[in-house]
Amino acid sequence: MGTFEWKHWALAVGILAFSGVAWMKAQPASKPVTVDAKVLHNAGSGANDALPGSWLSYGRNQNETRYSTLKLINDTNAKRLGLAWSYAIGAGGGNQEGTPLMWNNTLYGITTWSVVYALDARTGKELWRWDPEVNQQAVRPRICCGTVNRGMALYNGLLIAPVIDGRLEALDALTGKPVWESRMAYPQDQYTLTMAPRIAGDKVIMGASGGDKPTRGFFAAFDAKTGRQAWKFYTVPGNPENPPENEAMKAAQKTWGGDFWTKGGGGAVWDGIAYDPEANLVYVGTGNAEPWVQKFRGAQNVDNLYTCSILAVDLASGQMKWYFQTTPNDNWDFDSVQQLMLLDLNIKGKQRKVITQASKNGFFWVLDRITGEFLSGAPYVKTTWALGLDAKGRPIVNPEAYYDTDPISIFPTGGGAHNWSPMSFNPNTGFVYIPVSLTPFTYAATKELAPGSTGYAFGRGGAAPKLIDKPAIGPPTDENMRGALEAWDPVNQKLGWRVDGGGGIGGGTATTAGNLVFQVINDGRFRAVTADKGEVLYEVKTGRTGMAPPITYEADGKQYVAFQGGLGRAANINGANSDKIDAPPMLFVFALDGAAEMPKAAPPPPGRGGPPPAGPAPEQQR
């Protein structure tokens, strides 16, 4: 071979070799497991779980247990936890409440203004970011109860995100590009979207917030592939001059009176949804009656269905199968939208498929999830508004708990013994881990109902409130303990253990096979607690307040714990919000032997040098 020929042959071989390398680099990574209905159904089931290291839905699985089988981080090494990396998620607007999702080594999060981001779950490198460009100036005055967002849903390569202005968006999970958009509600009608959507079969289930505005509560089902609305279910009746939408609304009309529909009625669905694929039932918790004070709702001593209730609705038809009302004739803002958890429990020697809830009113409920039969209920905190339950689970109201213009103070707090902060269930201990608030709350009614108001006087001015302290039911409370983490036995309805720190508003829990409960507290603390005994093994201050619940996941053989935190208050310059914020809200990711530097702490709120509050006022929780 001549010199010329050799050079060209070598060059050709080089080109081919380079092309081969380029071709190999251009090939996509192994195809990720599709998150379909089967994968979601089996999540957390052990041997059938296709993605045990992922966190695919708000409650990790459709039972909403927030239990992970991971145990690389466990009770023997949790003291070695440290910050692995962090990510500034962008300007905030309120408390962080979103639960991140993890799939395909990608961590997905959402901000309070509905901006979605995707990160490499191992390094924190930003992969994409999508901003729905909410008109904040127009929407902010319409928001009922805080600029918040609790999370998203994954299904068939789509990331389904609620936008606070009433839109529901489906984004390509790999690229962040919009696939479809549906309009669920309008802020002009006082509705906003704050809860995390849930996947049920091939549908997206979503509720609308607005419970302290004159709104009529509802939730709806959308085709997950197209975004087309399949059905809509109102939680309270409308104008009785119009035909009721279904038999459920026909029955509910009898439990209202006067001109209730002119004030909305309430019953907002702003959290608390679960799905049982075997029964094909969607379970939904509903909010408080509106206005708060019963004397302003047009008729007294009627139940006001279906406020403060747990509803079971057939997924295919959207028709109600059963309901259970936790607070009939609500007078205390005792929503029943708290987390609905589906468990299989041995009760009195019989295996039962149950639905459980630690509701705002202080009672832990256990119902048969197929029939709605009341199985048991008990106060899980000190409670004085009720004297107990009758045989069917109806609360026996303490007559002293009714109020008018003279203020009274009762247990539990109006913000809820347990609010939106997620609880979790560990099958190895049999405990449900509930972040609880233990303080009383003052109620008083206004003399007249101002247009668009709740009728609640906020306890300001006037005489000192009368403390309704006796008779009290439920576990006794240390007077110095404002909030706590409780391990609750749902079978025997009793307290297992309780540790100081926490509260029903802000943060939340996740639990694992490593005998751990990961807890985030609204004052900025993150800790690891033993699931069996409640021993605090690790605790760190993040320097943020307004905290979101944790998740845990595994990537490349390493276990992580992730959560969001930070208010991110915008600086006010000449009466306008600027792009400069006191300290950016963050995504914190912890791992064993993490050695990253903690971000600079946020300064205290203006005019306050003390510790952060236990949580916002009750009207700011939707």
Q: Report the SS3 class of residue 596.
A: coil
- Establish how many alpha carbons lie within 13 A of residue 201's alpha carbon, considering only the half-sphere containing its beta carbon: 16
Q: How far is CA 437 from CA 335, 363, 411, 441, 506, in A?
A: 15, 13, 10, 11, 11
Are the CB atoms for 150 and 58 separated by under 8 Å? yes
| Burial class of residue 425 in the structure, from the number of CB atoms within 10 Å of its CB (0-12 exposed, 13-18 middle, 19+ buried) | buried
Adjacency order of strands within the sheet including 81-88: 81-88, 586-592, 558-565, 551-555
Residues in the chain: 622
Distance in angstroms (rounded) separating the CA atoms of residues 225 and 25: 32
Asked about 406 being catalytic, the answer comes back as no
Distance in angstroms (rounded) separating the CA atoms of residues 83 and 573: 34
Give the pair of three-digit tokens for residue 301. Answer: 């001593």
Distance in angstroms (rounded) separating the CA atoms of residues 305 and 12: 79
Q: How far is CA 484 from CA 436, 505, 563, in A?
A: 5, 11, 19
Task: Supply the DSSP string of 173-228, one letter for each residue.
Answer: TTT--EEEEEE---GGGT-B--SPPEEETTEEEEE-B-TTSS-B-EEEEEETTT--
Give the pair of three-digit tokens for residue 498. Answer: 């309780």
Distance in angstroms (rounded) separating the CA atoms of residues 15 and 236: 71
Amino acid, res. 85: W
The active-site residue out of 165, 276, 330, 333 is 333
Q: Report the SS3 class of residue 593.
A: coil
- Which candidate, 82, 525, 554, 508, places its Cα nearest to that of 517? 508
| Residues known to be catalytic | 333
